[in-house]
Amino acid sequence: MHDKTIAELSTALHAREVSSAELTRLMLQRIKTLDPALNSFVTLTEDQAIAQATAADARIAAGDAGPLTGVPIAHKDIFCTRDVRTSCGSRMLENFIAPYDATVVGRLEQAGAVMLGKTNMDEFAMGSSNETSYYGPVRNPWDTATVPGGSSGGSAAAVAARLCAAATGTDTGGSIRQPAALTGITGLKPTYGRCSRWGMIAFASSLDQAGPMTRSAEDAAIMLTAMAGFDERDSTCAQRPVDDYVGALRASIRGLRIGIVREFMGDGLDAGVAAAIEQALNEYKALGAELVEISLPNAGLSVPAYYVVAPAECSSNLARFDGVRYGHRCDDPKDLEDLYKRSRSEGFGAEVKRRIMIGTYALSAGYYDAYYLKAQKVRQLIADDFRRAFDQCDVIAGPTAPGTAFRIGDKADDPVSMYLQDIYTIAVNLAGLPGMSIPAPHSGGMPVGLQLIGNYFDEARLLNVAHQLQLATDWHQQVPAEFA
């Protein structure tokens, strides 16, 4: 049963071929047996999971069940979970027990999903490899010497290794899509404001967005249906109805215009990845779609713009962790200044400190106009490029990441090289658009991700385009041999 999708598990649960309690125990045992090789989980909620599974079985028996009822999932450790540790992969919050559920967590619980535990992540979602976690790096199930991507690497590895049916992730500059690409799963970053950010610990508030990480586009549609929707507690949440994502999957894509970004297919893209993307695009042509070359002339500015905007917002958001109210507190502070300095120095890791310092500098007097304001102007230019592109096409396609998974430690001492892992994903966050990564053919035995980008609140079309490719290919069904 561990190898079935959400849709398949839902059918089996409703047909009473398996109970949620049996399925949950199976997944918990797989995590205990197999996860030591991956380090994808930081917390297991075994007792809570069994209780939720028992309640789900009762709902199924009473005929009061939906497609997620009884399905075991995991949550990225950035989402607050009531009475369960929420650490954000940081020593700063190592012992923080959240007193409430994030909206996304609560909605999935209401839909009947069973929470197996919390997944490892780059500290405060800052990283592209899951190596900055206080709990140590996560390992890619396809090759445990390589990274799974980040910051949602724990969720990606857990789904790829079939330790859970699906997981939640967050995407600030590619942190759902890039790990999805490197581990061979499907990851969706919705339009900014589509899912509530309430209870999701903030990194960069104008960029962060929650989304599902699943085995297939169909599963992502099921998850997003439960996760999306207006939340009055989040002032940035869009007040618009949730589309019929599952119903939209079946539509034909004949005549669909797929834009191929000229700037994404040149220098810096690994030859094997380029060949895999071309093969995936040829499948779309066979399905009746039309490929149209487009240009995003300011896309090359997305990385420098992002690494001004995101650190600036992170500097502001992480100022609350001062050792006074909650989070790590140093021992025996001499005075208030000592309390602040040592609590933050001890609680934050190197990458978080680096971004706080960059952001504080960019926001300081005399530099705000030169850096932060200019980066926001570039952000607008990038969004304008996308608007013009969607006059020529319906969906944009290209690579998710410039290469396949790299070895753990290879880029640890080169922050700029690490930042460039998100070169194809960051522009989507700066513009607030929806984007997703789905499996393409492997390169050198390792997964490759095809990125699909849609217009604002056009997740239904994105999921449809992804699903139609997955009906025609089996790339998304491949599983690491040791975890099959």
Close Cβ partners of 314 (under 8 Å, ≥ 6 residues apart): 124, 126, 203, 204, 352, 355, 356, 359
In whole angstroms, what is the distance from residue 175 CA to residue 129 CA?
9
Q: What is the distance of C-alpha 104 from the center of its chain?
A: 13
Q: Catalytic residue numbers? A: 76, 151, 175
